[in-house]
């Protein structure tokens, strides 16, 4: 394993950081929300695709850059910093990796170039109740037709192609196929989502069965954890800056030890979690056999860590943190959704214990 970035990865990270700061700062997210776009910013996604990000995982043969998971993770982290609303996670990570792992030659030929070019977006439809429980799927598939109901599909309202999780494998369904009904959800994080019903909708199964489902969910968890790390890092930096500039009782509030210790603990949690996420991304690139362990480690710790950091973002800003004009609320709302998606800390702790054999 290595934590050292290659030159290529460092360049990618730096350009992602600059892009997000300049082209996609939080003000852009805010405008998207205020314009009631519910997560839609297709112009931004086109710009991101033009940077080559939609095809980071896609091999060059299919029009991508083939830069691997560490590379994509670094970009997701930068996007997390400024709350970029885009299908980067669902399409460039989840969609591309599912097709790479489980697609037939024809399926890869059909979809990967479109993903790499940013022409289509993908969404992963997994949960069937209010909590993440992929093992309890009631999805029915017979004669190439799929039936069932999926809840809170992230980016489901904007996706062209759906990856549908069943107990025995992963299915491809075109979003405009007959028998597919979407209900768009207006969500607390302003990113939007959809409840989707399938009633004898035409489908193709990907290769790999239940193993593929696990692989894809692991990737979804790790990628989201990377995005969450970026959010936490930004939230923490803004908070730390406030501690150094806000005065009360004639002192900088950051000179109060009660706050100093909480800040020092957040710093520690962020650093520890960063190591887990980098290790998880690296495990994906190495195709290691303990990817699942790393996925649960990364997602559980990222969820717990971001929970604390996003709450402190509000609390340490005092009253101003409660106002909509301040960004703290935006981070806290996104945090809660990200914490729960693809399994929260409780889910992944349980899974980790099982993987470790106790």
Partner 1 sequence: MTDVQLEQFRKDTRAWLEENCPASMRSTFTSEDEIVWGGKKAKFANPDSKLWLDRMAERGWTAPTWPKEYGGGGLSKEENLILQSELKRINARQPLYSFGLWMLGPVLLEYANEDQKKRHLPPVIRGEIRWCQGYSEPGAGSDLAGLQTKCEDKGDHWLINGQKIWTSYANYADWCFCLVRTDTSVKHEGISFILIDMTSPGVETRPIKLISGASPFCETFFTDVKVPKENMVGRLNGGWEIAKRLLQYERSNISGFGSGARTDVVDIAKQNVGLDEDGRLDDRDLRARIAEHKMFERAYALTAQRAAEEAKAGGNVSHITSMFKVAGATLNIERCELMVEAAGSRAFGWAGEGYSPDELAVTRGWLRSKGNSIEGGTTEVNLNVVAKRVLGLRDTQ
Q: Is 261 in the site for partner 1 (CB under 8 A)?
A: yes
349 lies in the binding site for partner 1 (CB under 8 A): yes
Q: CB 247 → partner 1: shortest distance, Å?
A: 11
**Of 106, 245, 287, 358, which one interacts with partner 1 (CB under 8 A)?**
358
Q: Which of 27, 109, 181, 268 binds partner 1 (CB under 8 A)?
A: 268
CB under 8 A: which stretch of 47-55, 92-100, 220-228, 296-304 binds partner 1?
Answer: 296-304
Q: What are phi and psi of 351, to 5 degrees?
A: -65, -40
How far, in Å, CA of 127 to CA of 168, rounded? Answer: 15
Answer yes or no: are the C-beta atoms of 10 and 288 closer than 8 Å: no
Q: How far is the CB of 153 from partner 1 (least distance, A)?
A: 28
**Which region among 11-19, 48-56, 259-267, 320-328 touches partner 1 (by CB under 8 A)?**
259-267
CB of 106 to partner 1, least distance (A): 40
- Tokens at 151, concatenated: 């809840």
Give CA–CA dist 101/103, Å, rounded: 6
The answer to whether 315 contacts partner 1 (rule: CB under 8 A) is no
Long-range Cβ contact pairs of 15-22 (< 8 A, separation 24 or more): 15/51, 16/51, 16/53, 16/74, 16/75, 16/78, 16/79, 17/78, 17/81, 19/47, 19/48, 19/51, 19/78, 20/78, 20/79, 20/81, 20/82, 20/84, 21/82
Nearest approach, Cβ of residue 126 and partner 1 (Å): 22
* Contact residue for partner 1 among 126, 193, 196, 300 (CB under 8 A): 300
Residue 60 vs 271, nearer CB to partner 1: 271
Q: Given candidates 129, 244, 318, 324, which one binds partner 1 under the rule CB under 8 A?
A: 244
Q: Helices 328-340 & 291-316, crossing angle to 10 degrees? A: 150
Least distance (Å) between residue 230 CB and partner 1: 17
Residue 17, phi then psi, degrees to nearest 5: -65, -45
Q: Is 248 an interacting residue with respect to partner 1 (CB under 8 A)?
A: no
Number of alpha carbons in the 13 Å side-chain half-sphere of residue 194:
21
Q: Is 81 exposed, middle or buried (0-12, 13-18, 19+ CB in 10 A)?
A: buried
- Site for partner 1 contains 258 (CB under 8 A): no
- What is the Cα–Cα distance from 316 to 314, expressed in whole angstroms? 6
By CB under 8 A, residue 275 contacts partner 1: yes
By CB under 8 A, tell whether 135 contacts partner 1. Answer: no
Per the CB < 8 A criterion, the answer to whether 251 and 344 are in contact is no
Stretch that binds partner 1, among 145-153, 308-316, 330-338, 349-357 (CB under 8 A): 349-357
Instruction: Report the residue from 252, 326, 336, 337 that binds partner 1 according to the rule CB under 8 A.
Output: 252
Provide the binding-site residues for partner 1, judged by CB under 8 A.
1-4, 240, 243-244, 250-252, 254-257, 260-261, 263-265, 267-268, 271-276, 278-279, 297, 300-301, 346, 349-350, 352-354, 356-358
């Amino acid at each position: 394993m290595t934590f050292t970035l290659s030159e290529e990865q460092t360049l990618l990270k730096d350009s992602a950081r600059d892009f997000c700061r300049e082209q996609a700062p939080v003000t852009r997210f805010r405008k998207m929300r205020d314009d009631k776009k519910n997560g839609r910013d297709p112009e931004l996604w086109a710009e991101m695709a033009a940077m080559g990000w939609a095809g980071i995982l896609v091999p060059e043969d299919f029009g991508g850059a083939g830069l691997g998971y560490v590379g994509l993770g670094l970009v997701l982290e930068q996007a997390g910093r400024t709350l970029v609303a885009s299908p980067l996670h669902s399409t460039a990570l989840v969609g591309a990796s599912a097709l790479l792992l489980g697609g037939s030659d024809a399926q890869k030929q059909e979809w990967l170039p479109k993903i790499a070019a940013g022409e289509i977006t993908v969404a992963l439809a997994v949960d069937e109740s209010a909590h993440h429980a992929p093992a309890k799927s009631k999805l029915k598939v017979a004669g190439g037709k799929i039936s069932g109901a999926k809840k809170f599909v992230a980016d489901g309202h904007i996706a062209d192609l759906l990856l549908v999780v069943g107990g025995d494998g992963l299915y491809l369904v075109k979003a405009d196929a007959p028998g597919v009904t979407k209900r768009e959800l207006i969500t607390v994080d302003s990113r939007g989502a959809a409840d989707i019903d399938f009633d004898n909708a035409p489908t193709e199964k990907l290769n790999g069965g239940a193993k593929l489902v696990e692989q894809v969910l692991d990737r979804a968890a790790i990628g989201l954890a990377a995005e969450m790390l970026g959010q936490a890092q930004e939230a923490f930096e803004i908070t730390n800056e406030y501690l150094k500039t806000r005065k009360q009782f004639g002192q900088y509030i950051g000179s109060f030890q009660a706050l100093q210790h909480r800040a020092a603990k957040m710093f520690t949690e962020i650093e520890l979690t960063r190591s887990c996420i980098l290790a998880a991304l690296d495990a994906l690139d190495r195709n290691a056999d303990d990817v699942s362990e790393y996925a649960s480690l990364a997602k559980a710790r990222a969820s717990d860590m971001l929970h604390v950091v996003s709450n402190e973002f509000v609390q340490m800003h005092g009253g101003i943190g409660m106002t909509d004009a301040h960004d703290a609320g935006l981070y806290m709302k996104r945090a809660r959704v990200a914490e729960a998606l693809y399994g929260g800390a409780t889910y992944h702790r349980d899974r980790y214990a099982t993987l470790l054999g106790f």
